[in-house]
Amino acid sequence: MAEPSSAGVVVAGAIGAGLMINGEAAIGALCGGVLYFVANAELSILSRVALSLVSVIVGYMFAPVVSGMTVFGVGPIDLPGPAAFVASSSVVTATLAAIKARRGSVVTKGETDG
């Protein structure tokens, strides 16, 4: 009979192989999420955890897109780890900046353009 620890390793390996997770992209996205968490100390812990989780997930998903891009003459980033890091560390910051800019440009009911 197999020991529980060896059976657990086999099951975890089978799940990982079934999901076909790119380990390099996952590590890059995780590093970008950690960077976001550390760099935004003005937010509450709960907000930082939630936004870091979004950053990791979306950074991993955007890694193939970023790996094929050329920005300001730099690129493409051919490695999945750095591509996921760039995507993960920038996606939430860019989205929040766009939301803040949109809120700032909307004139509320009581204000005038004068």
pLDDT for 64-112, tens place per residue?
888 888 767 776 778 888 889 989 988 888 888 888 888 877 655 555 5
**Cα-based torsion angle of the residue sequence 29, 86, 35, 94 in order, rounded to the nearest 10 degrees:** -110
Task: Identify the pLDDT of residue 17.
Answer: 61
Q: What pTM was computed for the model?
A: 0.68
pLDDT (average), residues 1-22: 61
For residue 71, give its domain range.
Answer: 22-104
- pLDDT bin (cut points 50, 70, 90) of residue 40 is confident
Task: Identify the pLDDT of residue 56.
Answer: 92
Task: Identify the pLDDT of residue 36.
Answer: 87
Nearest one of 78, 52, 54 to 66, comparing CA atoms: 78
Q: Return d(Cα 27, Cα 84) in angstroms, integer.
A: 8
Task: Identify the pLDDT of residue 110.
Answer: 56
13, part of any domain: no
27, part of any domain: yes
17, part of any domain: no
Pick the more confident residue, 57 or 2.
Answer: 57
Counted domains in the chain: 1
Asked whether residue 46 carries a pLDDT value surpassing 90, the answer given is yes
